[in-house]
Amino acid sequence: MHRVPIEVSSLDMNTQTPAPPTSPVLTDLLDELRDRRRELGLSLSALAEQLGRSPIYVGAVLSGQAQLGAQTATKLASALSIDESTLAPLTVPPVRNSDPLVYRLHELIDVYGDAIREWTFETFGDGILSAIDLKIAIERRGERAVITLDSKFLPYKEF
């Protein structure tokens, strides 16, 4: 399959320093990847299926908000028919940003976080819900979005 080059000439591929979300190199790359996905007619769900990942994770990678793993980078390059080295900027931890939807998700936690914490303590005991061992799903139900956070409970330990 022919690989389409994406220009990232101003990027030092040997650096492990993440580009800020407003970096022209990163924004150009993300725009090119978004355009390529659309040219191929791939929805996030279809691309995620090819990668063996969730559509939300794939969308986060393609927005520069999640780190792309090596095996997934290989699959993504193949799915988009691009050279894998093009994806190097996405393989380091990103500098994350925010927008109105993300702000509202923060607000949701600000408003309901204390109640969620209290319920968690009553149900599980003293501890936290992991953001590392976490699965997120989102589905549409009519005009509503249902977000499911499937998080591992991590109890605090006595020492």
What range defines the domain where residue 129 resides? 100-155
Q: What is the pLDDT of residue 2?
A: 52
113 and 84, same domain (yes or no): no
Give catalytic residues, as residue numbers: 104, 107, 130
pTM of this prediction? 0.68
Q: How far apart, in whole angstroms, are the C-alpha atoms of residue 129 and residue 152?
A: 6
Pick the residue with more confidence: 73 or 17? 73
Domain assignment present for residue 16? The answer is: no
pLDDT digit string, tens, across residues 66-89: 999 999 999 999 999 999 999 999
Angle 5-9-14 (CA atoms, 0-180°, nearest 5)? 105
Q: How far apart, in whole angstroms, are the C-alpha atoms of residue 74 and residue 117?
A: 39
Instruction: Say whether pLDDT at 13 is over 60.
Output: no
Q: What is the pLDDT of residue 100?
A: 85
63 and 107, same domain (yes or no): no
104 and 84, same domain (yes or no): no
3-state class (DSSP) for residue 27: helix
Share of the chain above pLDDT 90, in %: 75
- The domain tally of the chain equals 2
Look up residue 143 and give its DSSP letter: T
87 and 114, same domain (yes or no): no
Q: What is the pLDDT of residue 94?
A: 86
Q: Please state the φ and ψ torsions of residue 65, each to the nearest 5 degrees.
A: -110, 0
Averaged over 111-137, what is the pLDDT? 95
Domain assignment present for residue 1? The answer is: no
